[in-house]
């Protein structure tokens, strides 16, 4: 069996399953997002990556912000629940569900004490609702189908309205057919700023990052909403590394990262290199200063928010990633035979009589398999390229780029390491001098 055959054999069953399941999936999305109905105000969607919407102080790498519009003292928003076509990374485009043309949906930004009115248009082929996760709202506005409201039928626009009593970081998602709607990507975050923002002597970089996971059989366009454990595509704000836009900061900035997780099943241990941070807030509110402790990894369970803060005091290119190895990896890390450490020379020799050139992959690790031929609409397990070669991480992986004197949001490129700060091969004289048997 050639390596490509090995791959396709292991994938064939999955592809067949995915095709079968399309019967219970959904029709193809519209070619272009339709205009919002005239009765509702137009959403203020910024389409550019790393959106900092006009008047917003948030930075959403690869995402968007809805700042709403003031109408008679009420801040008005418009969410459109709809089928979307979404690029997870170049080479992997999926047909899935989201809000306002993307997944995650736009970050809803408001201020503590404001009255908000949120119109929700349902362009899905099934009913939906929106639950305001973590917000304290009147019970009838809680968005739970059957329990607190009838569902919003396809084609209709409904209206939610409430006052935001608390500042903080929250989320939104449907409470109808959660297994499908949340899994496909109908998730988003809400940031409610305090009425009086605490003064900071440092420049604040206020990032919003949402974790998500899908099962996407290599070659398929539809994520499988029935998956319970075998998720193979992990993302930050809908993008898998190397498609993630880096977070940038100047040395000395106060960096806040609001991390939300509304993936279907998995919590994520999110790890930051080169810095120590504290968790200052959850979706339940501020953590009192006396109850905070230093960390380099924060556990972000499904259905929760963790807001971390640190001073960016170390220039460099620092990974921010899920520490579960299969979550910092792109498609195809699963369901292939484990040959690690196996002596396959005899087997390979016999197979080569039938298939010249055959070589079993994975006997010395998986790095070679990460470069194998790919089916259409699939991306390499290996993530991206760095200045020194391949970065063997993908998925829920991105880079925090800290530079002296950095201004603006543009990617400053790779870090120029000062001389003598990158490891190199040891010389014989060095080994002998330090008594190391190399």
CB burial of 104-113 (b: ≥16 within 10 Å; e: otherwise) equals bbbbbbbbbe
Choose between 118 and 182: whose C-beta lies nearer to Cu ion. 182
As measured in angstroms, the least distance from the Cβ of 261 to Cu ion is 9
Choose between 329 and 378: whose C-beta lies nearer to Cu ion. 329
Quote the tokens at residue 307: 């807001």
Choose between 280 and 324: whose C-beta lies nearer to Cu ion. 324
Choose between 162 and 241: whose C-beta lies nearer to Cu ion. 241
Please, are residues 162 and 192 in contact by the beta-carbon 8 Å criterion?
no
Count, residues in the chain: 438
Choose between 263 and 384: whose C-beta lies nearer to Cu ion. 263
As measured in angstroms, the least distance from the Cβ of 327 to Cu ion is 3
Nearest residue to 166 via CA among 148, 144, 193? 193
Choose between 256 and 321: whose C-beta lies nearer to Cu ion. 321
Quote the tokens at residue 140: 């009838």
Strands 115-122 and 74-89, bridge-based pairing = parallel
d(CA 405, CA 400): 15
Cis peptide bond N-terminal to 104, omega within 30: yes
As measured in angstroms, the least distance from the Cβ of 324 to Cu ion is 4
What residues have CB less than 8 Å from 304, skipping those under 6 apart? 260, 261, 282, 283
As measured in angstroms, the least distance from the Cβ of 263 to Cu ion is 8
3-class SS of residue 285: strand
Please, are residues 248 and 411 in contact by the beta-carbon 8 Å criterion?
yes
d(CA 380, CA 91): 9
Please, are residues 104 and 63 in contact by the beta-carbon 8 Å criterion?
yes
Choose between 15 and 265: whose C-beta lies nearer to Cu ion. 265
Nearest residue to 251 via CA among 313, 319, 320, 317? 313
369: left (phi over 0), alpha (psi -120 to 50) or beta: alpha
Choose between 135 and 235: whose C-beta lies nearer to Cu ion. 235
What residues have CB less than 8 Å from 288, skipping those under 6 apart? none
As measured in angstroms, the least distance from the Cβ of 149 to Cu ion is 33
Choose between 254 and 324: whose C-beta lies nearer to Cu ion. 324
d(CA 160, CA 137): 10
Choose between 204 and 324: whose C-beta lies nearer to Cu ion. 324
User: Can you give the C-alpha Rg of the chain in angstroms?
Assistant: 24
Q: What is the DSSP string of 384-437?
A: EEETTEEE---BSEEEEEEETT--SSS---S--PPTT-S--PPPHHHHHHTT--
| Strand blocks (E) in 251-335 | 254-261, 268-272, 277-282, 285-286, 294-295, 297-300, 304-311, 316-322
3-class SS of residue 229: coil
Choose between 302 and 324: whose C-beta lies nearer to Cu ion. 324
β-bridge partners, 98: 82
As measured in angstroms, the least distance from the Cβ of 266 to Cu ion is 6
Choose between 215 and 268: whose C-beta lies nearer to Cu ion. 268
Residues that bind Cu ion (CB under 5 A): 268, 322, 324, 327
As measured in angstroms, the least distance from the Cβ of 323 to Cu ion is 7
As measured in angstroms, the least distance from the Cβ of 16 to Cu ion is 28
């Amino acid at each position: 069996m050639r390596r490509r055959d090995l791959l396709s054999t292991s994938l064939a069953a999955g592809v067949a399953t995915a095709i079968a399941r399309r019967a219970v999936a959904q029709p193809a999305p519209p070619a272009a997002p339709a205009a919002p109905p005239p009765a509702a105000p137009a959403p203020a969607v910024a389409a550019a990556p790393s959106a900092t919407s006009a008047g917003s102080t948030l930075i959403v790498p690869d995402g968007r912000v809805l700042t709403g519009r003031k109408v008679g003292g009420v801040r008005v928003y418009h969410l459109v629940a709809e089928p979307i076509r979404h690029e997870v990374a170049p080479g992997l485009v999926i047909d899935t569900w989201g809000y306002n043309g993307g997944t995650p949906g736009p970050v809803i930004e408001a201020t503590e004490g404001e009255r908000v009115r949120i119109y929700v248009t349902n362009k899905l082929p099934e009913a939906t609702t929106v639950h305001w996760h973590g917000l304290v709202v009147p019970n009838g506005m809680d968005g739970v189908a059957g329990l607190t409201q009838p569902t919003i039928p396809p084609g209709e626009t409904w209206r939610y309205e409430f006052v935001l009593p608390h500042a903080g970081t929250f989320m939104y998602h449907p409470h109808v057919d959660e297994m499908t709607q949340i899994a496909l990507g109908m998730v988003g975050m809400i940031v409610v700023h305090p009425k009086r923002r605490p003064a900071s002597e440092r420049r604040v970089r206020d990032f919003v990052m949402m974790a998500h996971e899908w099962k996407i059989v290599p070659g398929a366009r539809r994520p499988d909403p029935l998956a319970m454990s075998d998720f193979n595509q992990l993302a930050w704000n809908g993008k898998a590394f190397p498609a993630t836009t880096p977070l940038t900061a100047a040395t000395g900035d106060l960096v806040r990262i609001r991390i939300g997780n509304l993936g279907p099943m998995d919590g994520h241990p999110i790890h930051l290199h080169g810095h120590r941070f504290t968790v200052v807030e959850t979706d339940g509110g501020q953590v009192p200063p006396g109850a905070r402790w230093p960390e380099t990894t924060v556990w972000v369970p499904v259905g929760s928010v963790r807001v971390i803060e640190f001073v960016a005091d170390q220039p460099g290119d620092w990974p921010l990633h899920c520490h579960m190895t299969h979550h910092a990896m792109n498609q195809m890390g699963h369901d292939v035979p484990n040959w690690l450490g196996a002596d396959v020379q005899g087997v390979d020799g016999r197979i080569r009589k039938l298939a010249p050139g055959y070589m079993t992959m994975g006997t010395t690790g998986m790095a070679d398999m990460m470069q194998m031929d790919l089916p259409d609409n699939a991306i390499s397990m290996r993530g991206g390229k760095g200045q020194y070669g391949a970065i063997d991480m993908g998925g829920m992986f991105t880079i925090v780029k800290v530079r002296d004197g950095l201004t603006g949001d543009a990617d400053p490129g790779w870090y120029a390491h000062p001389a003598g700060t990158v490891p190199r091969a040891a010389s014989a004289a060095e080994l002998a001098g330090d008594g190391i048997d190399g």
